[in-house]
Structure 1
Amino acid sequence: MELDDGRHLPKIKIVYCASCGYEPQTLELVSALMYAFHYDIAGIEIIPWQDGAFDVAVDGELIHSMYRDGGFPAPEMIINAVRERLGR
């Protein structure tokens, strides 16, 4: 999302395994992102999925994948990826 002043606000997408019970980790990450960025992101999309998924993308770029990277990402890792897109 582009603002009138030319700044780009990144969009975050989280795909999580609902059947695995990954809601707590998803909500923890969403909360950390909301507190870190308030108005500096275009949105957070949360998609319930299956098969052990926990993927986080920023502006369409996969930052973390449960399949590729294993485990859950530290919120700070995702926050840093968003900061990079904001030029901070």
Structure 2
Amino acid sequence: MTDTPAPPRPHVSILYCTRCNWLLRAAWMAQELLSTFGEDLGSVTLVPGSGGHFEISVDGDVVWERKRDGGFPGPRELKQRVRDVIAPERDMGHIDRKP
């Protein structure tokens, strides 16, 4: 009997502008995702950049882009967008309730 390898887990990358001092914001977003999704994620990577960029991707697909989406996501919105990509059937409990 052979063990079936587990499917690859999604990888999240957070590109942030170092010149804008957005490292703490990027790290906070990474912490929120790791706290919520734990072992469902393969990694969360912080990617230093410049030019006012703040972009969050799951396996290369952009789920949030600061200029396109009008600022920074709150934890609720970010978690919902990541969930919609990695596990759309997952119930997020209180996060999914209307404010």
TM-score, length-scaled by structure 2: 0.75
What does the per-residue CA deviation read over 1:15-45, in whole Å, with 9 as the maximum and x for residues that have no partner?
0001100012111101101110111101011
Match of 2:50 in 1: 50
Which gives a bigger RCO, structure 1 or 2 (Cα 8 Å, sep 6+)? 1
Shift of 1:70: 2.2
Equivalent residues, number: 85
* RMSD, matched Cα: 1.7
Structure with bigger gyration radius:
2
**What residue is the counterpart of 2:93 in the other structure?**
none
Flag structure 1 segments of 5+ consecutive residues without an equivalent. Answer: none
Deviates more, 1:11-20 or 1:76-85: 76-85
Runs of 4+ with >6 A deviation = none
Q: Is this contact kept in 2: 1:9–1:86, CA < 8 A?
A: no
1:19-38 to structure 2, matched below 5 A, reads 19-38=19-38
TM-score scaled by length of structure 1? 0.83
Secondary structure of the corresponding residue to residue 39 of structure 1: helix
Q: Given that residues 9 and 42 in structure 1 are in contact (C-alpha distance below 8 angstroms), is that contact kept between their aligned partners in structure 2? A: yes
- Give the structure 2 partner of residue 74 of structure 1: 74
Greater shift, 75-84 or 49-58, is seen at: 75-84
2:87 partner letter: L
Q: CA deviation at 1:86?
A: 2.2
- Give the whole-Å Cα distance in 1 for the aligned partners of 2:83 and 2:75: 12
